[in-house]
Amino acid sequence: MKRIGIDIGATLTKVVEDGRRYRLATGDPAEMIRSVVGDREVEVRATGCMAMTLPDRLNSATIVRIPEFEALAVGGRVLSGLKDGVMATVGTGTSIIRIGNGEHLGGTGVGCGTLLGLARAMIGVRDPDELSELAQKGDPAGVNLLVGDICPLPIGHLLESVTASNMARLREATDVRREDIAAGIYSLVGEVVATVATYVARSAGFREVIYAGGGIVDPVLRDVIQKTTEFWGLKPIFVDDPIFVGAIGAYYRGLEP
Q: Give pLDDT tens digits along the chain (257 positions).
A: 799 999 988 778 899 998 889 888 777 888 888 888 888 899 999 998 888 888 888 888 999 999 999 999 999 999 999 999 999 999 999 999 999 999 999 999 999 999 999 999 999 999 999 999 999 999 999 999 998 888 876 676 677 778 999 999 999 888 899 999 999 999 999 999 999 999 999 999 999 999 999 999 999 999 999 999 999 999 999 999 999 999 999 999 878 66
In a domain, 162, yes or no: yes
Same domain for 7 and 108, yes or no, is: no
pLDDT of residue 39: 86
197 with 135, same domain: the answer is yes
Indicate if 128 and 198 belong to the same structural domain: yes
| Same domain flag for 147 and 37 | no
Both 13 and 100 in one domain: the answer is no
Residue 43: is it exposed, middle or buried by C-beta count within 10 angstroms (0-12/13-18/19+)? Answer: middle
Q: Is residue 87 domain-resident? A: yes
- What lies within 8 Å, CB to CB, of 64 at 6+ separation is 43, 44, 45, 46
In a domain, 165, yes or no: yes
Residue 13 within any structural domain of the chain: yes
Helix (H) or strand (E) holding 113: helix 112-123
Are 175 and 89 within one domain?
yes
163 lies in the same domain as 118? yes
Same-domain status, 203 and 107: yes
Distance CA 245, CA 84 (A): 15
Nearest Cα to Cα of residue 249 among 47, 98, 72: 72
Q: Do 63 and 46 form a contact (C-beta atoms < 8 A)? A: yes
Residues 23 and 59 in one domain: yes
Let me know if residue 250 belongs to a domain.
no
Which residues fall within 8 angstroms of residue 242, CB to CB, at 6 or more apart?
79, 211, 212, 213, 214, 216, 217
pTM score above 0.85:
yes
| Residue at 75 is within a domain | no
Residue 255 lies in a domain: no
In a shared domain, residues 53 and 95: no
How long, in residues, is the chain?
Answer: 257
Domain count, the chain: 2
pLDDT score of 115: 97
Angle, in degrees to the nearest 10, between helices 112-123 and 178-203: 160
Residues 19 and 90 in one domain: no
Q: What is the pLDDT of residue 257?
A: 62
Query: Looking at residue 191, which CATH number applies to its domain?
Result: 3.30.420.40
pLDDT recorded at residue 154: 66
CA atoms within 13 A on the CB side of 82: 19
Give 41's DSSP letter: -
Domain with 24, as residue range(s), is 3-65
CA–CA separation, 48 and 78 (whole Å)? 18
Cα 102 to Cα 106: distance, rounded to the nearest angstrom: 12
Single residue among 15, 35, 65 that ends a domain in this structure:
65
Task: Give the separation between CA 89 and CA 241, rounded to whole angstroms.
Answer: 12
Query: Order of strands across the sheet with 235-238?
Result: 103-108, 94-98, 86-90, 208-212, 235-238
Q: Are residues 36 and 112 in the same domain?
A: no
